[in-house]
Amino acid sequence: MDASQPLLSPNSHRGRPLTAWQQAKTDVLRIFLSSPVSPLLIFVPFGLVWGYGEFSHTWVFIFNFLAIVPLADVLARATEELADKAGSTVGGLLNATFGNAVELIVSLIALKERQVRIVQASMLGSLLSNLLLVLGFCFVAGGHNRLQQTFNQTAAQTMSSLLAISTASLLIPAAFRATIPIHKNQDWIVEKKILQLSRGTSLVLLAVYGLFLLFQLRTHRAIFEEQEENTEDVRSQLSHVSKNDTLSIKSSLAFLLGATVLVSICADFLVGTIDNVVESTGLSKTFIGLIIIPIVGNAAEHVTSVMVAVKDKMDLSLSVAIGSSLQIALFVTPFMVLVGWFIDVPMTLNFSTFETVMLFIAVFLSNNLILDGESNWLEGIMSLSLYLLIAMAFFFYPDEPDHIISSLPLAAN
């Protein structure tokens, strides 16, 4: 017998194969042990009961907000399990597609409710959160007891360049809107042109994202291989679950389907109460979408990024933080524009001038921090300070009146 083989397989109990019920209980336990945010699953039934019971809108928002955080982690874990069994290329595509599934679900529901402002703000908020908040915590947590941390400079430079393109895709429509001559009672013509520009830009961004996946998974795979090799080891250490103790394909699919359904229901309740929460709390819709909602889909990733940074795995930490930003900017946001085109909701890339300036500053700082391939705790403080300044600014920033385009669902068809 090979000494390297375990005496008991992960799917056996005292040498006997597990029954279906035992396997199910074991898989549920693995999911519960996979993340420090798993205890928040207790809020899932509260969110559903309060939502279906149509109780206090504020509590419906809070409970479903807290419920989506661990559900996002379950969704991510199930996707990773399927990706591991599907092979490197298909697995990479699965992770790329479902990596921001929660943001996609919340945005689709908000777009269906014609909450274009919430969709735009949540997209921008996810970018700011990953680029400043997560990156800042990673630099502080990993560098507070080290002189310097290093990471793959080539991968960092590639992601920085893609972030520059992403920022340009939002700056161009805003600059277009601010500089084009507007004649009296002709605003709708300008808004129609911006809608057409946004849709064309979205197609270009999706093409760039597809080519980036080709670059990452095929032509320059060696650059990113070390990150992938470290991922399973680090996650197993964090969750105290062996990397060989994995879910079955059936269990992974069941968790993926179940988590998707629950996230959809909770997101529906969450989005449906936003207007009431705005009225009762006095918070602006922009602040809720830009600062609060991005926490929902990113909390589990944020925790993982910080914990791997503590273990000095900065390549993996940076990949999670910056990679998630790229998915939002190059895939989720343009995809939402095209979905809006399909369902006749005028979703555009025309963010307000203030928002685009904030994004430019955030990308400018994050690019300067990662381009040298090194980090320390003071750079993390810089990043966190900028995020705090931006959050304070948006707390006091009033909601802008809805654009004329919101009343022209078929303007550019």
CATH number of the domain within which 157 lies: 1.20.1420.30
Is 44 part of any domain?
yes
Cα–Cα separations (whole angstroms), residue 200 to 203, 329, 413:
5, 15, 13
Count how many domains the chain has. 1
Neighbouring-strand partners of residue 16: 13
Helix, strand, coil % in the chain, rounded to nearest 5? 75, 0, 20
Establish if 12 belongs to a structural domain: no
Per the structure, the complete domain to which residue 197 belongs is given by 19-407
Residue at 278 is within a domain: yes
Classify residue 54: in a domain, yes or no. yes
Q: Going residue by residue through the chain (413 aa), what tens digit of pLDDT does each one get?
A: 444 444 334 454 444 555 666 666 777 777 676 677 788 889 999 999 999 988 888 899 999 999 988 888 888 777 777 767 765 555 556 665 666 778 888 888 989 888 888 888 888 988 898 889 988 999 998 888 888 888 877 777 777 788 888 888 888 888 888 787 766 666 777 788 889 999 999 999 999 988 888 887 777 777 666 555 555 555 555 554 455 556 677 777 888 888 889 989 999 999 888 888 888 888 888 888 888 888 877 777 777 788 888 888 887 788 778 878 888 888 889 999 999 999 988 899 888 888 888 988 998 898 888 888 888 899 999 999 999 999 999 998 887 655 434 444 444 44
Asked if the structure places residue 1 within a domain, the reply is: no
The answer as to whether 412 is a domain residue is no
Instruction: Establish if 208 belongs to a structural domain.
Output: yes
Where helices occur in 113-152 by DSSP H, the ranges are 116-128, 135-143
End-to-end CA distance of the chain: 69
Q: What pLDDT score does 218 carry?
A: 78
Angle between helices 293-310 and 221-239 (to 10 degrees): 90
Whole-model pTM? 0.80
Minimal CA–CA distance to 68: which of 49, 43, 94, 36? 43
pLDDT at 234: 56
pLDDT at 9: 42
The CA–CA distances, whole Å, from 323 to 22, 36, 160 equal 37, 22, 10
Give the whole-angstrom CA distance, residue 303 versus residue 288: 21
Residue 351, domain member (yes or no) = yes
pLDDT at 412: 43
